[in-house]
Amino acid sequence: MSKIYAAGILGIGCYVPEKILTNHDLEKMVDTSNEWIIERTGIKTRHIAAPEQATSDLATIAAQRALQSANVKAEDLDLIIVATASPDMAFPSTACLVQENIKATKAAAFDLSAGCSGFVYSLTVASQMIVSGLYKNILIIGAEALSKIMNWKDRNTCILFGDGAGAAVIGRVEDGYGTLGFNLGADGSGGHTLCQPAGGSRIPASLETVEKDMHYIHMSGNEVFKFAIKVMGEAANAALQAANISANEVDLFVPHQANIRIINSAAKRLGLSMDKVVVNLEKYGNTSAASIPIALCEALEQGRIKKGDNVALVGFGAGLTWAACVLKWSME
């Protein structure tokens, strides 16, 4: 019987573009107000990629910072997974572009599409490959340049999203540490509620699809909100159960940063005080697959996580999907 290894995070890094778009800037673009956006979402600002920046560029910077944090060389990576809903192009994968940028010449590479749940999906996949002994060092990245597929005339979506990237190196850690429990799921019946309708094989790009704004993000906000309120607490509880950890043993809760009301609801359902919850969406908005790793990266930089802490991650997104993971933190 082959050895079973413990898998955890060896290093983490994040990056957001320099340009900041405020609610007051949006007031000049669409019919909305700073007060309305804050009250309904909790968002004050978001970062926007430069015209020349694509998702792979944001991902590359986050990747380099994660490798430095983990003290792992790019040439020692076995695999790169990029979770994104806004790839540079349909193919090749954004992961292959990052592989070339960082010169990870020995690494396999692929993209993972699970919307805002993508980072936790990637963490789950990577962990199993470490646990089984298949690979030693895996780079996972959640990266988005959603501003590139945003309809800046649609006040229901353009106020919500931002750009950024977060990355982590996954590898072997001490027994008893690292990933302890997961919960992944999907409900494809809700796929139409959050999508980019055109540009694929169902509705190929044409002059008509461009004129009808079908290459932008389309979202039924109320439907996604109802789904999120229900699934966030359920997924977190299922992962805690799998890890054999109770909610009151959670030291830090890192939810997907979509909406402050959804985060508050999930924390309440788990019985967690807000001082145990990471919230940074007021600065970045919803960065989709990048939101959880950026929040995790900032929490670590702020000294909110120490070795041995129980950390719960939970997200939901297009698909519709959900994903939760519980880790015993292994980094010093």
Q: Which helix (H) or strand (E) segment is 236 a member of?
A: helix 221-243
Contact 122, 83 (CB under 8 A): yes
Model's pTM, two decimal places? 0.97
What does the DSSP 8-state code read for residue 149? G
What's the confidence (pLDDT) of residue 64? 98
Could you state, in chain order, the average pLDDT of each consecutive group of 10 residues for the chain (332 residues)?
Answer: 88 98 97 95 97 98 98 98 98 98 98 98 98 98 98 95 98 97 97 96 98 97 93 96 97 97 95 97 98 98 97 97 98 90
Taking the C-alpha atoms of residue 65 and residue 108, their distance in angstroms, rounded to an integer, is 20
Active site residues: 116, 256, 286
- DSSP code per residue over 29-85: TSS--HHHHHHHH---EEEE--TT--HHHHHHHHHHHHHHHHT--GGG-SEEEEE-S
Query: Are 286 and 160 a contacting pair, CB within 8 Å?
Result: yes
Q: In what order do the strands lie in the sheet with 321-328?
A: 178-186, 321-328, 310-317, 252-255
Alpha helices in 71-159 (DSSP H): 94-102, 118-131, 155-158
pLDDT in tens, 200-225: 999 999 999 999 999 999 999 899 99
Side chain identity at residue 107, one-letter code: A
Please tell me whether residue 123 adopts helix, strand or coil conformation.
helix
What average pLDDT does the chain have? 97
Half-sphere exposure of 83 (CA within 13 A, CB side): 32
CATH 3.40.47.10 in the chain, residue ranges: 6-176, 179-328
What is the structure's pLDDT at 332? 86
Cβ 183 vs Cβ 315: under 8 Å: no
pLDDT score of 45: 98
pLDDT for 1 = 53
**pLDDT tens digits, one per residue of 265-315:** 999 999 999 999 999 999 999 999 999 999 999 999 999 999 999 999 999
What residues have CB less than 8 Å from 3, skipping those under 6 apart? 133
CATH code that applies to domain 179-328: 3.40.47.10
Query: Hey, what CATH class is 6-176 in?
Result: alpha beta
Rounded distance between C-alpha atoms, residue 108 and residue 118, angstroms: 18
pLDDT value for 182: 98
